[in-house]
């Protein structure tokens, strides 16, 4: 029995310290994954909490077919993508309201702040993350998991529940698209 399976069994038996151990072990991974996609610290905090609530609610379905980290990545990505979709719908609705003359709340840009980025590299990192936001969802997730989270292609395939070939294709297309998006940034500096 692996350490992850042992922790889950202890949680199922009501051991709160085992749940705390899982949270402490994986909360940075979950937060970093979330902030890489939403690029907002408050949203990433909320998502991190939601991930562990969902983990607790669904741990009975965990059969150990994948690593616990893979399962938590899947939950994190699912919740993060849902959060992003809700924000986009809210923006479209706000635009429609403004078009028809209703007052809207001003949406202000949040300053980019990723915990893994050194201060002197924040400007170029912000440009990269802005370009990543323009990628299609699956390309963005694959690129983020590989380049920011250090996952290999096989692990990404497991996390995204797809094939290795599909991940390789996503990465090639992501790199081509990012190069195109970032070309103007680097020619202007």
- Do domains 1-86 and 115-189 share one topology? The answer is no
pLDDT in tens, 13-69: 888 898 999 999 999 999 999 998 888 899 999 999 999 999 999 888 877 778 889
Prediction pTM value: 0.74
What is the predicted pLDDT for the residue at 33? 93
Residues in Cβ contact with 44 at an 8 Å cutoff, skipping those fewer than 6 apart = 31, 34, 35, 38
Query: Is the domain covering 115-189 a CATH 1.10.10.10 domain?
Result: yes
Q: Within 10 Å of residue 94's Cβ, how many Cβ atoms?
A: 15
Cβ-based burial of 61 (10 A; exposed 0-12, middle 13-18, buried ≥19): exposed
Residue predicted with more confidence, 42 or 89: 42
Tokens found for residue 132: 């990543």
Q: Where are the domains of the chain?
A: 1-86, 115-189
Cβ-based burial of 35 (10 A; exposed 0-12, middle 13-18, buried ≥19): buried
Q: Fold for 1-86, please state it.
A: Rna Polymerase Sigma Factor; Chain: A (1.10.1740)
Cα–Cα distance, 48 to 64 (Å, whole number):
22
């Amino acid at each position: 029995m692996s350490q992850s399976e042992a922790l889950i069994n202890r949680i199922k038996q009501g051991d709160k310290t085992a749940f705390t151990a899982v949270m402490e072990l994986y909360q940075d991974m979950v937060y970093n994954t979330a902030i890489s996609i939403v690029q907002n610290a408050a949203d990433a905090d909320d998502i991190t909490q939601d991930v562990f609530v969902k983990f607790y609610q669904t741990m009975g379905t965990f059969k150990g077919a994948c690593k616990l980290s893979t399962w938590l990545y899947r939950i994190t990505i699912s919740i993060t993508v849902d959060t992003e979709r809700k924000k986009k719908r809210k923006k479209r609705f706000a635009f429609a309201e403004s078009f028809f003359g209703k007052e809207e709340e001003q949406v202000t840009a949040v300053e980019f702040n990723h915990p893994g980025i050194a201060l002197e590299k924040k400007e170029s990192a912000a440009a990269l993350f802005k370009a990543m936001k323009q990628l299609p969802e699956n390309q963005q997730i694959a690129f983020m998991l590989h380049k920011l989270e250090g996952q290999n292609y096989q692990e990404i395939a497991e996390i995204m529940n797809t094939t290795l070939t599909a991940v390789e294709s996503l990465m090639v297309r992501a790199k081509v698209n990012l190069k195109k998006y970032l070309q103007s940034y680097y020619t202007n500096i």
